[in-house]
Structures are given as structure tokens and as C-alpha cells.
Amino acid sequence: MSNNDVVITGLGATTPLGGDVASTWDGLLAGRSGVAALEEDWVERYDLPVKIAAKLEVEPTEVLPRVQARRLDRCEQVAMIAARQAWADAGLGEDGVEPERLAVVIGTGIGGAHTLLDQDDLLETKGIRKVSPLTVPMLMPNGPAAHVGLELKARAGVHAPVSACASGAEAIAWAWRMLRNGEADVIVAGGAESAIAAITMAGFAQARTMSTRNDEPQRASRPWDVDRDGFVLGEGSGIMVLERGEYAKARGAAVYGRLAGIGTSADSYHITGPDPEGVGQTRAISVAVRSAGLEPEDIGHVNAHATSTPVGDVGETVAIRKALGEHPVLTAPKGALGHLLGAAGAVEAIATVLSIRDGIIPPTLNLEEQDPGVVQDVVAGEPRKLDLTAAVCDSFGFGGHNVALTFVPA
């Protein structure tokens, strides 16, 4: 194992399919949906056209101590839960890393939306004396990274990429660069998001990007299906512990796999719409493969961003075809998880690592009739066993952010 190797030694997650990595992975393989009808009163109060979402299966307040939970926004809560899982999984303990060689990189697309809304309501209805003095630390987008960094005493850097739906993947890419540059030995990286609220639901609905299949929540998120009509908003967090290969080897760490290469780019085309030619997406995927020292034919699987939107799904497969050819087998976890925004890329990266480790690809949920514009082989119906020597996970976000990660076995 070379000193330039970046290895994954710990995984943590809390998602609409489960409160940890194992239950989330089992849910993906079983083809289970985390989408359900919303019961919040604001759905009817504002007559929202979208009445479904993918909420967490395990409430954070059932996991965190009560006092700590009250001092964290929900977005920070899920980050803390997933980070603790990943840290424990990596076996680093309380004094496992010198603080000056430990960093945290956790991205989010929106940040503390619930705190901002709740505290604004308090200000308007009850005055300034009722506004919490913790409001700003709870709503700031770097809050998840900052709180995890404080708990772990990370001093090599605490960073919070904010790149919309590519944020979690970009955090992992950032960690790869830091480790390769020798800035740290261990980095806790991933994404966190919890923004299922009236204003975000209304905003996405007005932009006509969300599914309105309210009568069939579990069939609403349908990546690549001819009847797809938009994404389903989800929440959660995915966190990895990444280490320099030599450091992990020296401490005898168990390794899930290697992050062999990364690619990032920007479309510079439109604030919400992807470049119709897929130039930026293609570039990110190509760079991720090239930086791993691999060729397109080495990539056997792509865990795709595919959100279930009419335009974006097909465009992504065109970019994959341009970068890699038609041979990689595809899957789209958002059929089961919904769209976790800034956490999506991190949770899906974890799924990619587990696909390589276990030699199995989870099915794309609700893919009943594949869009004819998608020419690749998409796993649907049942999981597919496949020995993989390399796989790519890609993530894209509003603003034209493109990130691709290449994973290989340990």
C-alpha cells in the first residue's frame, strides 16, 4: 500500500432506510422505499402540491442525548450521528489520531433550515427575547462540520463545501486532495442534510422539479423510468473515515476499499439546468478515472446521481457514455432513498464502496419501463451480483457543480 493511497476505514449513515449503514444497505438491496406521505400540518395549510418525502427512519432525538439534541439543528444532529458511527467503525478511539493530523470535511446544500425558520417565527410572534443565542451556530452551513470537528478535536482543518446536491461528494473529493497533499493522516468526510420544510417543498414544487405522485409515495421516485415526474425530497447523512494508506496499514486498520481518483468540474451554463451536451459532467467522470490511473474500460459500474427528473436522468447517461462507453452497469439509489440533497453523494458513495466489497449492485427502484434514451444496462427488479475492479459514483448540483469519485477494492 503506497503512501499516496487513500483508503476508507469507517462508514456511518442515517437515512430514510435505516439508522445506520447496515440497515440502509439492507434496505437498498431489498428494494425497500423510504418515501411516505407527510403528516405535517403545513402540507394542507399551504395547499402544497407535493405531499410526500423521504424522512429519516430513526429520529435523531432517539439517538442523541436530549440536551445535545436541543443545541443542534437537525442537519447537525444527523451529521453527528453518522460521524460517530464512522469513527467507531474505523476503530480509532479517543486518542487514535494526533489532532494536528486529523481533519473534518462535511458538506451540506442548505444547512440549518429548520433553525432559521423556527427562530424567525419566534422573533415575529414573541419577540427577540425568545430567540435562541445558539441560532447562528445552529443555522450556519458549516455547523455540521464544526460540531464534528469540535467533538473529535480535529486541528488539521474543518471544512464545509456547499455545492448544492454535489456537496457530500465534493467533501469526499476534498478529503482525497488533502490526504494526497500530506495535510492530514485521517479525515472524516461526507455530507448532511435535513431540509424537509414548507418553504423548501414549496420552492422545489414551484420549480416543477418534484414528483406529485402523492397517492403512491413508494412508487414516486422513478429514476430512468418513462413515467418519472420529478424527485422526492429526503434527509440524512453519510460519513466516511478516509486515511493515508501507510497510516492505516501501520495501525492495522480494516479497509473497505480505496478512493483511487476524483474529478470535479463546473458547467457554467445555467443556475439550475445542466449543460445539455453534458460537457462538465463528462469531464468530471473522465478526470476521476484518469486520476485513478485507470482507463474507461476498467469501470464496471456507475452509481448514478439520477434524481428522477425528466431531463436530468437521460442527460447524465449521455455524459457517462461519452466518458466511459456503454459497458458500465448503472444503478440509482434515489429510487429508494429519495434525494438527500447535500448528503446524497456521500450516502451513495458508501453504497458504491459496499457494492465493490460485496460484489453486488442494488436495484433501481420503480424502474418499470426504461426510457429509450437510456441505452445502458440498468440494474432493476433484483440486486445483481457482479465482481467489480472499479466503480464510479457521480453527483451533480444546482449551479453546475459536478463531482465524480472512483473507488477500487482494498
Stretch among 42-56, 82-96, 197-211 having the lowest mean pLDDT: 82-96
Task: Specify whether 53 is located in the same domain as 83.
Answer: yes
Which strand (E) or helix (H) includes residue 77? helix 74-90
Write down which residue in 197, 221, 251 finishes a domain: 251
Residues 179, 162: Cα–Cα separation, whole Å: 20
Whether residue 237 sits in one domain with residue 216: yes
List beta partners, residue 403.
264, 395
Q: Give the C-alpha separation, 55 to 235, whole Å.
A: 6
Of 165, 201, 259, 374, which is the active-site residue? 165
Domain span holding position 213 = 6-251
Under 8 Å CB-to-CB from 282, ≥6 apart: which residues?
Answer: 319, 322, 323
**Does the annotation mark 393 as catalytic?**
no
Q: How many domains does the chain have?
A: 2
Q: Grid cell 478516509 — which residue?
A: 242
Tens digits of residue pLDDT in 273-328:
888 889 999 999 999 999 999 999 999 999 999 999 998 999 999 999 999 999 99
Mean pLDDT for the chain overall: 97
The string of pLDDT tens digits covering residues 6-48 is 999 999 999 999 999 999 999 999 999 999 999 999 999 999 9
Q: Are residues 222 and 117 in the same domain?
A: yes
Given 251, 282, 301, which residue is the final one in a domain?
251
Taking alpha carbons only, the member of 335, 333, 337, 317 closest to residue 377 is 317
The sign of the CA dihedral 34, 39, 42, 46 is positive
256 within domain boundaries: no
Q: Tell me, yes or no, whether 43 and 118 share the same domain.
A: yes
Domain identity same for 331 and 197: no
CATH number of the domain bearing residue 289:
3.40.47.10
